[in-house]
Amino acid sequence: MTLVLLGFAGVVWEWSGATLVADTAALARVEVQPFGGTLEHAQLFGPDGRAIALSVRSHRLTPQVRLTPGERVSAEVVIRRPGWLAWALGSKHRERLTLRAPVAHVSERWLTVPLESVVRVRFDRPVSAVAEGPNGHLAFRVLGSARRSITLPRRAAAGSLAVAAAARPWERLGTPVAVSWFPPARSPILLSSPAPGAQLTPAAPIRLTFSKPLAAVLGSARPKLSPRTRGRWQQADSHTLLFVPSGFGAGFSTKLRVELPRAVAVVGRAGRSLYTTRRLAWKVQPGSPLRLQQLLAQAGYLPLDWHASGPPVARTPHAELQAAVDAPKGLFSWRFPSTPRELRALWSAGRPSEITRGAVMMFEDSHGLAVDGLAGAAVWHALLADAIAGKRRVSGYSYVYVHSSVPQSLTLWHDGHTVLSSPGNTGVPAAPTQLGTFPVFEHIPAGTMSGTNPDGSHYDDPGIRYISYFNGGDAIHAFNRASFGTPQSLGCVELPLASAAKVWPYTPIGTLVTIEN
């Protein structure tokens, strides 16, 4: 009899347990043996001790909030034992389990796929939801049932898409990874992002993904970038090199080239044929003409101010580069209420104008750059550097306009005031002064002026004072005449010595000169 009782007690002990284990659908599952009792309470906790809402069905614990794949979670359950066992084993039994939310990984990221076949991505475990697409623009979809593979849209022989997956319906998507596919080929195939020949922004990274591991394709060598661009090559994974620009990156409106250590196959523009090359090239976007004007206004090189409609552009290279290709909204306003109508008529926001060209020339001259009035890479980089540093020109804005109708005169305007109005001489009918607006391109205190007279003879006049060239050989300068106010020059604007001396300091390179009737 004693042996029977001992045997019965052993069976009861063996069948009165409860365990907490990971589940293939829920997060965890409570396994209660026949004499174990009933589930009374269940809780989930995050790594910081916060409670996680859950539902319990058929002893399965499922989070009611989205968990991140790999997130550590603690589960705790309380089992109430039957009353007839409570006296011996206690009324309650607690179980605790710490585990991580499952993570689904892509089984193979670099695929060889025949041209007519679909691109199939496989995972190391079944997944319930996926998102795929160009990085940053992923399309989410819930799968009808968990599966170990999905198909991707294929538009070219080779391509790359970002893929993210969730193993459970109650999880967030995992970190996206790039999945690339290539057609069968004898040579290594290169997939470039952006595609060769495409436009890119100065700060855009360049991603080169090879069908074979980098060590097999390039060894220890690295591509060469020209023109030289601040930044560095880094290995993103076993098949991918990434060039990340730094500072202001590549120059605006330049052609950026990469030379590879060996020839590789590249997918052509049609997306299906392959060609072999060692060189890739891209066009760097030009800066926005509107943003150029905004920066020149902020820096004090225009007779206008500009104020952003929204938050100001952050004084960082990244923010300024982004604004340079996608100009922020804002308003221009004239700095001075008495701006001459001739100057106002020249302004056009977002479009080329002589006001903008003159401002660029003035900026180039003040920064020691070649003066051509074109906003090339060097001008943009200097402008962005000044914007970040908050530099502003403080010497004011000047404008000169000349009336060629008799009596002829020159008016100098500066910062809202007429500084001087003086009689002057323009060109004779055989060598008239061209009408229009021109920026000063050379500014010298004294020099020799030479050329050809209307009758074919030559002149050579040394010691001419206060010269500001604005259109070819035409210049504002001092000249000794018996009278002023009528056409007497060979295209220049001649002034009395005292007037020329006063005008000259106000006409640095870039100053606009308008000749009108």
Does residue 248 form part of some domain?
Answer: yes
Q: Quick one: 467 and 480 in the same domain?
A: yes
CATH of the domain at 213: 2.60.40.3710
Does residue 127 form part of some domain?
Answer: yes
Does residue 155 form part of some domain?
Answer: yes
Does residue 46 form part of some domain?
Answer: yes
Q: Quick one: 378 and 303 in the same domain?
A: yes
**Of 284, 308, 342, which one is at a domain's C-terminal end?**
284
Whether the Cβ atoms of residue 102 and residue 25 lie closer than 8 Å to each other: no
Does residue 105 form part of some domain?
Answer: no
Q: Quick one: 379 and 470 in the same domain?
A: no
Q: How many CB atoms lie within 10 A of CB 93?
A: 19
| pTM assigned to the model | 0.77
**Of 167, 182, 197, which one is at a domain's C-terminal end?**
182
Q: Which positions of the chain have pLDDT values less than 50?
A: 1-16, 86, 88
Q: Quick one: 167 and 198 in the same domain?
A: no
Does residue 346 form part of some domain?
Answer: yes
pLDDT digits (tens, 9 = 90+) for 179-231: 999 999 888 999 999 999 999 999 999 999 999 999 999 999 999 999 999 99
User: Which among 344, 361, 369, 352 has a CA at the least distance from the CA of 301?
Assistant: 361
HSE-CB for 318 with a 13 A CA cutoff: 5
What the block records as the tokens of 279 is: 């060189």
The pLDDT value given to residue 475 = 98
Q: Quick one: 115 and 174 in the same domain?
A: yes
Read off the amino acid at residue 512. Answer: L
Q: Quick one: 280 and 293 in the same domain?
A: no
Q: Quick one: 124 and 75 in the same domain?
A: no
- Containing domain of residue 385, as a range? 289-389
User: Which among 308, 373, 302 has a CA at the least distance from the CA of 339?
Assistant: 302
Q: Quick one: 492 and 403 in the same domain?
A: yes
Domains contained in the chain, number:
5
The pLDDT value given to residue 14 = 46
Q: Quick one: 378 and 480 in the same domain?
A: no
The pLDDT value given to residue 369 = 97
CATH of the domain at 80: 2.60.40
The pLDDT value given to residue 30 = 87
The pLDDT value given to residue 378 = 93
**Of 389, 407, 434, which one is at a domain's C-terminal end?**
389
Distance CA(128)–CA(34), nearest Å, equals 33
CATH of the domain at 488: 2.40.440.10
Does residue 209 form part of some domain?
Answer: yes
The pLDDT value given to residue 89 = 54
Q: Quick one: 444 and 354 in the same domain?
A: no
Distance CA(383)–CA(329), nearest Å, equals 19
Q: Quick one: 436 and 456 in the same domain?
A: yes
φ, ψ for residue 151, nearest 5 deg: -110, 145
Q: Quick one: 90 and 55 in the same domain?
A: yes
Distance CA(404)–CA(482), nearest Å, equals 18
